Amino acid sequence: MKIELYHYIHCPYCIRVRMALGFLNMPWSSKVLPYSDEATPLALTGKKMLPIIKMDDQVMNESLDIIKHLDKENVLLSENWGDFDQTLNTIAPQIFNLAMPFWVFTPEFDPASQKYFLKKKEAKRGPFSELIKNRGIFENEIHPLLTNLEKRLKPFWDSNSFGVRDIGLAAHLWGLFSVPEFRFSEKIHAYLMSVKELTKFNYTNFHWREP
């Protein structure tokens, strides 16, 4: 089966699928789309939303549905996702407020995509210049939240075995690596490195865009 993944580099939902493919040892080819490209995702699924996976003639979106589909042997899903979205929602706003103003200036974003991303995200979060000015506030908010999360790592999320919730958590936390001088606690850093190894994940693969 030939697998093509349409993704954005920074997108945590896309990172989930990259991690799952790596963990499951499934070869795939990468299609990084410019953020401003509406036509390609709309033609594939009718929605301007990535990740999208194309397997031979089958096309799917929604990261968790994709992972369920790929994980035929239920290796990742032996641990249930359950209400894990609620846990992620406790840290997602701070992660996005901290990371988005830096993501937008990485080589993934061409000028049209920068404009598109800024317009969409600033409408929701306010000017990115303010987010950068206020990053200290978001950092102060996120550290106690991370300390709480850390207590649940045993060494994986509520479990001694790696599962889909670790993919969900690590994919969200990965965003903070884009924030200059942001430091994870030793335990969370070690956790992310173990997820990286298990999933053979390399954030910067496909990162570069030729000028």
**In the bound complex, what is the minimum distance in angstroms from residue 50's beta carbon to ligand GSH?**
4
Question: Rounded to an integer, what distance in angstroms lies between the CA atom of residue 126 and that of residue 119?
Answer: 10
Q: Using CB under 6 A as the criterion, which residues of the chain lie in contact with ligand GSH when the complex forms?
A: 8, 11, 13, 48-51, 62-64, 120
Nearer to ligand GSH, 122 or 150 (CB): 122
**In the bound complex, what is the minimum distance in angstroms from residue 160's beta carbon to ligand GSH?**
26
DSSP 153: B
**In the bound complex, what is the minimum distance in angstroms from residue 13's beta carbon to ligand GSH?**
4
Q: Which residues pair with 54 in a beta bridge?
A: 4, 59
CB atoms within 10 A of CB 110: 15
Question: Rounded to an integer, what distance in angstroms lies between the CA atom of residue 195 and that of residue 189?
Answer: 10
Q: In what order do the strands lie in the sheet with 3-7?
A: 29-32, 3-7, 52-55, 58-61
**In the bound complex, what is the minimum distance in angstroms from residue 143's beta carbon to ligand GSH?**
24
Nearer to ligand GSH, 23 or 96 (CB): 96
Nearer to ligand GSH, 177 or 189 (CB): 177
Nearer to ligand GSH, 16 or 135 (CB): 16
